[in-house]
Structure 1
Amino acid sequence: MSQNRHLPVVVVGGGQAGLAMSHQLRARGIGHVVFEKNRVAHTWRTQRWDSFCLVTPNWQCQLPGFAYDGPEPHGFMGREAIVAYIEAYASRIEAPLRAGVGVEAVRPRPDGGFQVATGEGGYTADAVVLAISGYHVPAIPGMAAGLPPDVQQIHSSAYRNPAQMRAGAVLVVGSGQSGCQIAEDLHLAGRRVHLVTGSAPRCPRVYRGRDAVDWLAEMGQYDLPVERHPLKGDVRRKANHYLTGRDGGRDIDLRRFAREGMRLHGRLIHVDGTRVAFADDLEKNLDNADAVYTGIQGAIDTHIAKAGITAPEQAHYRPLWRPGPPETTLDLAEAEIGSVVWATGFRADFSFVEADVLDPRGLPVHERGVTPLAGLYVVGLPWLHTWGSGRFSGIARDTAHLADHIAAQGQALAARGQALPMAS
């Protein structure tokens, strides 16, 4: 393709958010190209473990124009099925996808629009949509450097299965969704596991006869705009609730794991060779997670009562196990820990956007995906607009809103798009 060719809209990222954006733009006659530096569903393919599955039911897979219609709406797709779903979507909508072409820089032009540098040359564009999520660089704390070289260290994004880990026990740092599910995966395989807990909350899988996600959706929780959330924009910093869709779906109860032999610890605060130190907050972490769990149960009870719904009675969760005196230090050698999994999240990297639109955490400043820079948009971030924004369930609404906003830039944009050929 020629240098500095003009495109009405450039979509950066060919995952579910970028593809959904493509569908909405096509529906409005707006020309565009989707640049994906790897291939469709790359992150799902390469950064998920073998037993990974969705934690939300399949029926919530509501990509625009391609809702899940398989035989298990209340099941939970595994990694390969998720990849197949996204691939099928890209094919169905005939996305103008340029796979293997990365966007290296996005620069605003003085006269409006953008200069877009890619691996295959430069382009200009009237609008750019950043659809690359916010999980780019594994966030491993600096204290990891203090571990001895003979201890295997991997980030959760590189974890695949228990056989990958060295002999001995495994220390999993982080009790969010990934950390808890990886700890469970190791535990079920018979590995000795130490889990470092944090502030992540938990959610029931099934309560009073239905999946909690079904209840929460019926209650409008996934449609709650961020500005109406009690925490407002701060909710974007909160960890997701931990539970699992594995084996048909179930709770993750760290107290039960502890009863079965898993060692739980408070927050990791220091590493010095084989000696590690923990905060004295294990009991608080467990209690806070359970308080969210029972709070969800209580909210569902209230909804059932107000709506006059007939549902089976079910007692609220009661703790199965209480920690003893806090264990604030541990010698990895004495505990025979040969591996550490850092389930400590990611940092965003939007550094290729050469404009003053990033907040202190490196994420684009926006209002419902519309940044302060005219023509620059972002989609696919958690709580972009609602709780559903970072999930398959909310992407249709978010991309429709942005496509309408782009269309409002003028009829000329849509007219130019009619003649834009599909990418091969």
Structure 2
Amino acid sequence: MNHHYPVVIIGGGQAGLAMSWSLTQKNIRHIVLERHQLAWAWRHQRWDNFCLVTPNWQCKLPGFPYDGDDPHGFMLRDDIVAYIERYAQSFNAPLYEGVNVERVTQHADGFALHTSMGTIQAEQVVIAVGNYHRPRFPDIAQQLPQRIVQVHSAEYKSSQQLPKGDVLVVGSAQSGAQIAEDLHLAGRRVHLCVGSAPRVARFYRGRDVVDWLDDMGHYRLTVDNHPLGEDARRKTNHYVTGRDGGRDIDLRAFALQGMQLYGRLLGYQDGKLLTADDLIANLDGADATSKKIKDSIDAWIEQQGLQAPEEQPYQPLWQPEHQPGAVDLANISAIVWAVGFHTDFSWIEAPAFNEKGYPSHTRGVSVQSGLYFLGLPWLWTWGSGRFEGVGEDALWIAKSIEQHARKMAEPEATYVDSRR
């Protein structure tokens, strides 16, 4: 590894590799620095039974679309890692593992990357580390009895790592709902604090809902054209699963099977976790979102004159008889916190962030010249933080990098006084 490069990419996941492939096609010299190892988050921050929630055909890394024999299936965790490994090998990515970038500073000729292997100079830098940086724990986690084992969703592997007894999962977005299902299928008695996360059906009228939405142009909608604008970046993901070939996650069905549901977590008092009286509203809201998506598919089918099997409207399988106001911790042996992550770009010393510390950019091109961001949710489209769309963003940023390099290489114009 040298100590000066035209471009340095920070992050060795699918975003960093997609950026590397794009620069390789343009013969732009660069390296990829990964703090741990290739695809580390997929290896170590996913549970044993984890699988994609989007079908395999949406794996569209540039130059390397899905190469398996089950395009409408859902890759398991180890298969995802293997896919990323094959991608890196396919173009001999200039990847350096085990190099921690501790700080990035800017200077007149670009940037200095202060790493665990020394200082590296770069004319341009791509930050491809996503926005899930530090596991989030609520303040009340420190108040709970020490006998209760507490893990973040990023640390959860399987029911076997948790002590015998009831398990509480806090958070019902993608990870929380799927982990609650994983524990439930393992025979554990599960308690789940349900938030306002929406849900989506896996299949509708004969096809995966993702297939319908792709035909409808949903995944080509840009953040500039989204009704919520940049607020779309803060939306909670719909919960659904690709497990066992894919199916809905219906929390009402889990309740019929013995899972105990509560509203949002509010606080801790006298050995109990207090919960809000919004369980009914949250379940109804999730169902309403699913219905809205189905209605849009119905309208598309009619508009296009398509033939598709009819499907009866969803009928709620279960309604709470009352809304429990607290979780009694007497029988709870473990808690899985599925409440998200903190985003932390404080190690980048450049005027490239808004008042909340989030990157200010246009399609990944930072307001700070020579600095770029890739792999963030809704960086440009729904797929920007996923296999589906990160490649298009990388190709776009590669063009900007090439243009910036050409501009920096141009000799400064000489001023000529026309009066002479």
- Please indicate the TM-score interval, normalised by the length of the shorter structure: over 0.9
Select which of 399, 404, 417 maps to 1:409.
404
CA displacement 1:231-257 (0-9 Å, x = unmatched): 111111111000000000000000000
Aligned match of 1:43: 41
Partners of 2:346 and 2:405 in 1: CA distance: 29
CA displacement 1:245-286 (0-9 Å, x = unmatched): 000000000000011110000000001352110011000100
Q: For the structure 1 residues 223 and 267, does the alpha-carbon distance in structure 2 shift closer, same or farther, using more than 3 Å as the test?
A: same
Partners of 1:359 and 1:280 in 2: CA distance: 35
Answer yes or no: is 1:318 the counterpart of 2:325: no
Answer yes or no: is 1:193 the counterpart of 2:184: no
Aligned match of 2:78: 80
Aligned match of 2:346: 351
Partners of 1:275 and 1:91 in 2: CA distance: 52
> SS of 2:404's equivalent?
coil
Structure 2, unaligned stretches of length 5 or more? 411-420
Answer yes or no: is 1:327 the counterpart of 2:324: yes
Out of 111-120 and 228-237, give the one that drifted further. 111-120
The one-letter code matched in structure 1 to 2:188 is R
> SS of 1:116's equivalent?
strand
Kindly indicate whether the alpha-carbon contact (under 8 Å) linking 1:30 and 1:413 is maintained by their aligned counterparts in 2: no
Answer yes or no: is 1:216 the counterpart of 2:213: yes
Aligned match of 2:66: 68
Aligned match of 2:91: 93
Select which of 283, 288, 299 maps to 2:285.
288
Partners of 1:331 and 1:52 in 2: CA distance: 29
CA displacement 1:41-77 (0-9 Å, x = unmatched): 1000000001000000000000000000211000000
Partners of 2:221 and 2:409 in 1: CA distance: 32
Partners of 1:240 and 1:229 in 2: CA distance: 15
Partners of 2:382 and 2:207 in 1: CA distance: 20
Offset, 1:364: 1.3
> SS of 1:350's equivalent?
coil
Offset, 1:139: 0.6
The number of equivalent residue pairs is: 410
Answer yes or no: is 1:386 the counterpart of 2:387: no
Kindly indicate whether the alpha-carbon contact (under 8 Å) linking 1:116 and 1:124 is maintained by their aligned counterparts in 2: yes
> SS of 1:409's equivalent?
helix
The two structures, once aligned, show a CA RMSD in angstroms of 1.4
The one-letter code matched in structure 2 to 1:143 is I
Partners of 2:275 and 2:199 in 1: CA distance: 21
Aligned match of 2:235: 238
The one-letter code matched in structure 1 to 2:401 is I
Offset, 1:358: 2.3
Aligned match of 1:342: 337
The one-letter code matched in structure 2 to 1:233 is E
> SS of 2:261's equivalent?
strand
Select which of 25, 28, 34 maps to 1:27.
25
Select which of 298, 303, 306 maps to 2:300.
303
Aligned match of 1:362: 357
Offset, 1:210: 0.3
Out of 64-73 and 360-369, give the one that drifted further. 360-369
Structure 2 matches for 1:97-112, cutoff 5 A? 97-109=95-107, 111-112=108-109
Partners of 2:150 and 2:356 in 1: CA distance: 25
Kindly indicate whether the alpha-carbon contact (under 8 Å) linking 1:8 and 1:413 is maintained by their aligned counterparts in 2: no
Structure 2 matches for 1:116-265, cutoff 5 A? 116-265=113-262
> SS of 1:105's equivalent?
strand
Structure 1, unaligned stretches of length 5 or more? 416-424
Structure-2-length-normalised TM-score: 0.95
Q: For the structure 1 residues 303 and 187, does the alpha-carbon distance in structure 2 shift closer, same or farther, using more than 3 Å as the test?
A: same
Offset, 1:414: 9.4
Partners of 1:414 and 1:295 in 2: CA distance: 52
Percent identity between matched residues is 55
Partners of 1:387 and 1:47 in 2: CA distance: 22
CA displacement 1:377-402 (0-9 Å, x = unmatched): 00000100000111101011100110
Offset, 1:412: 7.9
Aligned match of 1:422: none
